[in-house]
Amino acid sequence: DLRVARAMSMHFYQLSTKLLGDTVSKMNENLTSVVLVASFFTLTVGYVSKRLLKESSHRDKKYPPYIPSSIPFLGHAVAFGKSPIEFLENAYEKYGPVFSFTMVGKTFTYLLGSDAATLMFNSKNEDLNAEDVYSKLTTPVFGKGVAYDVPNPLFLEQKKMLKTGLNIARFKEHVKIIEAETIEYFQRWGDSGERNLFEALSELIILTASSCLHGKEIRGMLNERVAQLYADLDGGFSHAAWLLPAWLPLPSFRKRDRAHREIKNIFFKVIEKRRRSGDKADDILQTLIDATYKDGRPLNDNEIAGMLIGLLLAGQHTSSTTSAWMGFFLARDKDLQERCYAEQKAVCGEDLPPLDFDQLKDLSLLERCLKETLRLRPPIMTMMRMARTPQTAAGYDIPVGHQVCVSPTVNHRLQDTWVERMDFSPSRYLNDNPAAGEKFAYIPFGAGRHRCIGENFAYVQIKTVWSTLLRLYEFDLVDGYFPTINYTTMIHTPHNPVIRYRRRQ
């Protein structure tokens, strides 16, 4: 398991999410590069003429303030890529809550703050569309027939099926499974040391997510080869896949496609076996096998397999980065960490018996720590939609073709909304805080029709993992180092995430 997971997490964060700069710098290396450079050139010319045309024909409209750039086509890609939050906060100061800028030939319009964000969360999918921006990335990974490959009403039905599968009876089982996986996994850490916490939690969460979301058959098959397939598939979530034409014969694209086919085949066999055996296990796989659309049609095997892939990947990076950041916030504040440990005893009993779902709910300090981690380090830093129809926000006209964005990270720390905004302060949720009056000031799981269905599971998972870890160890920063943020990954991960730990007596 150790080797499996290690190989996997290395690939997760090295193969995937390469910055544009990275992509561009490799352009001279092979024949593909020639194609890339040519398409870059064509796109630039096309882009410049399109902008000129647009500007001359829409003089009467009041467009959002546009942040100028002297670099054609690429625009602000480099500055944004280096430090997106700083870029957005500076723009907010200078231009207000709604502004536009160009990156890689695309115009992005950000809606910052709760009021401006309302446009995105109240909009219909036909107007501000998710498939147009996400499908290119997700469809090769999840496959056809699910998520952003299907009309949104159908995806909404699929989300509902998944939500049915994520119920309290299941969570009660999940707590036991996750506690057992965590104890077993961390045996390899021994009594004390310094280790990469993020790598460990990434490995652990593949195991727990696989057990809880896929079921025992698929978890039982999670060996080195399957782990590598997940890693190759995950490599599909890269800036390259988002920016470059899908037909390019890049090795990472080919790996992704092969992994997709092989994983699907593994899942098909499991589904087929489950269907044949008549064994009605109480798990999500069974929920999906038994589910039907409103018109009575059951899910076919391809849809089920696609949803299983989606479940794993949607829950993997989001939960593992959040858990890792939470560990560093607790390690930085020893007093808070001790209070969380004391809460374990106060709520569950002095002798710390095995965790149980009902007690987990009462761990309110731990819960506020998680909530605060998601405020300062929300894993999804930007939600995006394509404007298919003209929109207005804050008195500005947003034309068709703009990529409209909302950033949880920025909303979660706006000066106007949050008191002591950069402090990790779980107690802020006990007091009357100004953000409570603003509907979209706190949106780590999004809102509206695209809202996350995994919130409750994520809370159960992360609270179980951290309850277990707090009982096992005391944590410290290594020589006071609190990880800086790695912005080159699509989900903002901690840099050099090594933590010091000592077994509790």
Residues forming contacts to ligand HEM in the complex (CB under 6 A) are 130, 159, 213, 311, 314-315, 318-319, 322, 378-380, 383, 444-446, 450, 452-454, 457-458
What is the C-alpha separation between 235 and 18, in angstroms, rounded? 9
By C-beta, is 159 or 239 nearer to ligand HEM? Answer: 159
Minimum CB–partner distance for residue 461 and ligand HEM (Å): 7
Which two tokens mark 448?
Answer: 């509206």
Outline where DSSP puts E strands in 112-187: 128-129
By C-beta, is 80 or 142 nearer to ligand HEM? Answer: 142
Closest C-alpha among 315, 79, 353, 112 to residue 214: 315
By C-beta, is 67 or 386 nearer to ligand HEM? Answer: 386
Minimum CB–partner distance for residue 105 and ligand HEM (Å): 22
Minimum CB–partner distance for residue 472 and ligand HEM (Å): 22
Minimum CB–partner distance for residue 111 and ligand HEM (Å): 13
By C-beta, is 123 or 253 nearer to ligand HEM? Answer: 123
**Residue 83 DSSP code:** -
Token pair 């409103």 in the structure block, residue: 294
> Is 452 annotated as belonging to a binding site?
yes
What DSSP letter does each residue of 255-311 carry, written as one string?
HHHHHHHHHHHHHHHHHHHHHHH----SSHHHHHHH-B-TTSPBPPHHHHHHHHHHH
By C-beta, is 250 or 405 nearer to ligand HEM? Answer: 405
Contacts (Cβ under 8 Å, ≥6 apart) of 116? 97, 98, 393, 394, 406
- Going from the C-alpha of 219 to that of each of 120, 226, 307, 466, the distances in angstroms are 38, 10, 16, 22
Minimum CB–partner distance for residue 321 and ligand HEM (Å): 8
Minimum CB–partner distance for residue 492 and ligand HEM (Å): 12
Minimum CB–partner distance for residue 320 and ligand HEM (Å): 9
101 and 69 Cβ atoms separated by less than 8 Å: yes
Report the residue number whose CB is nearest to ligand HEM: 454
Closest C-alpha among 182, 176, 210 to residue 197: 182
By C-beta, is 256 or 450 nearer to ligand HEM? Answer: 450
Outline where DSSP puts E strands in 87-196: 98-103, 106-111, 128-129, 192-196
Going by their DSSP bridges, the two strands 106-111 and 403-406 should be labelled as parallel
By C-beta, is 161 or 226 nearer to ligand HEM? Answer: 161
Binding annotation: 452
Binding annotation for heme: 452
